[in-house]
Structure 1
Amino acid sequence: MPTPHIYRPLQPDRLRLWMPYEGGSNRRWIHATLGARIQPIYDKPSGRWLIARPHFTTLVDHLLDRFGQVDATVEFSMTRRCDVRCREATGDDCDCSCLGEHHGGGLWGGGWFQVGETTLIRPEVQVRHMRITR
């Protein structure tokens, strides 16, 4: 049997859930699992259910009970920080998270922004794929 897949995007968007088709019973299963008030949306072009984000853990647990394993893709925010002191540094010793990109006056390219008097940040998204088994 194919493995269900759940995707949690970084932005405040709905979860995207794909499950093997079982004769129209998937909507009933979602309601039985998450409650009758849940309003899943079936996105026909993608073949996925769109479900509110707070249900991620509950869905994973119940999908494991039903299918034995789940493929999950989760996006995380990994903001990197640097400091003006790095940019103005002399010498070659640097241990900040810009990985030397700004050390000693490096260019400000690559999406770095100054916040406050000394701190530089660069928003970054990391994606993690995992297969979860019971």
Structure 2
Amino acid sequence: MSSFPRLTSKHDAEEGLTLAPKFDARGLVTCVTTDADTGDLLMVAHMNEESLRKTIESGEAWYWSRSRQSLWHKGDTSGQIQTVVEMRIDCDQDAIWLKVRVGGDGGCCHTGRHSCFYRIQPIGGGEASLRPLIISEAR
């Protein structure tokens, strides 16, 4: 059973101040993470109830790793701890937006890039490309 409340009123969910996240059937909610200073999109991950609660309590980003099926404190091994500057919840409370500052060297992506969104796919034709590693972004 969730320690977060369940709101039955659409008005309360959309206009109220109560955090009542709508976790999916697997107990997850999508989380979009951006750089608080630049606005760059860093990553998209998932949170379960425990990781959301730990994020709120600690002020650092915690996620649920679907591939490892385990709690994941972002930066625990890499040193790229994400300190939360602001957390926003969307209108129907089924998505989270974290604005963070990333500690340590490099970026947020396990490839060593600043962002996990480094693959560029042209619209309407052309060849895809990868954003190169920049020395300051390399781990």
| TM-score normalised to structure 2 length | 0.25
- Would you tell me which structure has more helix in proportion to its own residues? 1
Query: Is the radius of gyration larger for structure 1 or structure 2?
Result: 1
Higher relative CO (Cα under 8 Å, sequence separation at least 6) belongs to 1
